[in-house]
Structure 1
Amino acid sequence: MYDLISKAADLLTGDAVKTDNFMLRLHYMASVTIFVGYSMIITVSTYAGDPIDCITSKGTQGAPPGNFLDTYCYIHGTSTLDWYVDINAGSHRNIKQNCEGDECDRKHYYYQWVSVVCLLQAALFYLPHYLWMGWEGGMMERMIGTLATEPKYYIDADQQNARSIYVNENFSGFFSLIPSSGCKRTRNLSRIILNTFGENRLYVFKFYFLEFLSAAIAFVQFFLTDMFLGGSYTKNGASLPFDLVQVESNRTDRLEWSLPIISGCTYTQYGSGGGIKSVQSVCVLPNNVVHQKFYTFLYFWLLFVMIYSTAHCVFRLAIIVNPIFRGNIASRYWGETDIKESTDHIIRHIYSNISFSDWQMISFVHSNLAEYNFVLFLEDLSFDYFEKNQDDPKFQKDLLSRLNKDGKKNL
Structure 2
Amino acid sequence: MYYITRDTIRNLLNISTIKIDNIFFFFHYKITMVILVVFGLLVTKKQYFGDPIDCIVDSIDSHTIDMYCWIQSTYTIPSLTGAVVGEEVAHPGVANYDVMKHGTEETQSYTIKHHKYYQWVVLFLSLQAFMFYLPRFIWKRCEGGRVATLVGELHLPVCDSNLREKRLSIAVEYFTRYFHHHNIYAFQFFFCEVLNFTNIIGQIYFTDRFLDYGFLKYGPRVMEYAKQDKLFGHDPKDEIFPKVAKCIFHKFGPSGSIMRHDALCVLPLNIINEKIFAFLWYWFLLVAVITGVGLVYRLATFLPTFRTYLLRGRSRLVAKENIDTISGRCYIGDWFILYLIAKNMDAFMYRDFIQQLSQHLPGMKKVS
TM-score by length of 1: 0.76
Asked if the contact 2:186–2:333 (Cα under 8 Å) also holds between the matched residues in 1, the reply is: yes
1:385 Cα offset (Å) = 2.9
Equivalent in the alignment of 2:90:
92
What are the superposed Cα offsets for residues 316-366 of structure 1, whole Å, 9 maximum, x if unpaired?
A: 01212x1111112222x213336xxxx421311322331111110111101
Does the residue aligned with 2:60 lie in a helix, a strand or coil? Answer: coil
2:63 pairs with one of 67, 72, 90: 67
Q: 1:98 to 1:226 in 2, by over 3 A?
A: farther
1:9 Cα offset (Å) = 2.6
Q: 1:371 to 1:218 in 2, by over 3 A?
A: same
Partners of 1:98 and 1:249 in 2: how far apart?
A: 23
Partners of 1:334 and 1:209 in 2: how far apart?
A: 24
Percent of aligned positions with the same letter in both sequences?
Answer: 27
Partners of 1:241 and 1:7 in 2: how far apart?
A: 33
Partners of 2:179 and 2:272 in 1: how far apart?
A: 53
Q: Does 1:379 align with 2:355?
A: yes
1:106 Cα offset (Å) = 3.2
Equivalent in the alignment of 1:363:
339
Corresponding letter in the other structure for 1:275: S
1:199 pairs with one of 181, 192, 208: 181
Does the residue aligned with 1:96 lie in a helix, a strand or coil? Answer: coil
Partners of 1:306 and 1:221 in 2: how far apart?
A: 10
Q: Does 1:156 align with 2:122?
A: no
Q: Does 1:273 align with 2:259?
A: no
Q: 1:141 to 1:358 in 2, by over 3 A?
A: same
Equivalent in the alignment of 1:139:
146
Alignment of 1:48-67 (within 5 A): 49-56=50-57, 63-67=59-63
1:118 pairs with one of 120, 125, 128: 125
Alignment of 1:2-21 (within 5 A): 5-6=6-7, 8-21=9-22
Greater CA radius of gyration, 1 or 2?
A: 1
Q: 1:97 to 1:130 in 2, by over 3 A?
A: farther
Asked if the contact 2:311–2:323 (Cα under 8 Å) also holds between the matched residues in 1, the reply is: no
Query: Aligned pair count?
Result: 352
Asked if the contact 1:337–1:379 (Cα under 8 Å) also holds between the matched residues in 2, the reply is: no
Equivalent in the alignment of 2:325:
349
Q: 1:248 to 1:337 in 2, by over 3 A?
A: closer
2:192 pairs with one of 210, 220, 230: 210
Q: 1:244 to 1:114 in 2, by over 3 A?
A: farther
Does the residue aligned with 2:295 lie in a helix, a strand or coil? Answer: helix
Partners of 2:334 and 2:283 in 1: how far apart?
A: 34
Equivalent in the alignment of 1:336:
316
1:24 Cα offset (Å) = 1.6
1:48 Cα offset (Å) = 9.4
Does the residue aligned with 1:72 lie in a helix, a strand or coil? Answer: helix
Partners of 1:305 and 1:203 in 2: how far apart?
A: 25
1:286 Cα offset (Å) = 0.8
Asked if the contact 2:49–2:268 (Cα under 8 Å) also holds between the matched residues in 1, the reply is: no
Q: 1:6 to 1:119 in 2, by over 3 A?
A: closer
Partners of 2:88 and 2:239 in 1: how far apart?
A: 21
Q: Does 1:38 align with 2:39?
A: yes
Alignment of 1:186-265 (within 5 A): 186-243=168-225, 250-253=233-236, 255-265=237-247
Corresponding letter in the other structure for 1:311: V
Corresponding letter in the other structure for 1:251: H
1:244 Cα offset (Å) = 5.5
TM-score by length of 2: 0.84
Partners of 1:325 and 1:34 in 2: how far apart?
A: 34
Partners of 2:49 and 2:278 in 1: how far apart?
A: 25
Does the residue aligned with 1:283 lie in a helix, a strand or coil? Answer: strand
Does the residue aligned with 1:267 lie in a helix, a strand or coil? Answer: strand
Q: Report which stretch shifted further, 366-375 or 262-271.
A: 366-375
1:282 Cα offset (Å) = 1.8
Asked if the contact 1:193–1:361 (Cα under 8 Å) also holds between the matched residues in 2, the reply is: no
1:295 Cα offset (Å) = 0.4
1:280 Cα offset (Å) = 1.2
Asked if the contact 1:80–1:97 (Cα under 8 Å) also holds between the matched residues in 2, the reply is: no
1:11 Cα offset (Å) = 3.4
Does the residue aligned with 1:220 lie in a helix, a strand or coil? Answer: helix
Partners of 1:194 and 1:256 in 2: how far apart?
A: 64
Partners of 1:275 and 1:248 in 2: how far apart?
A: 45
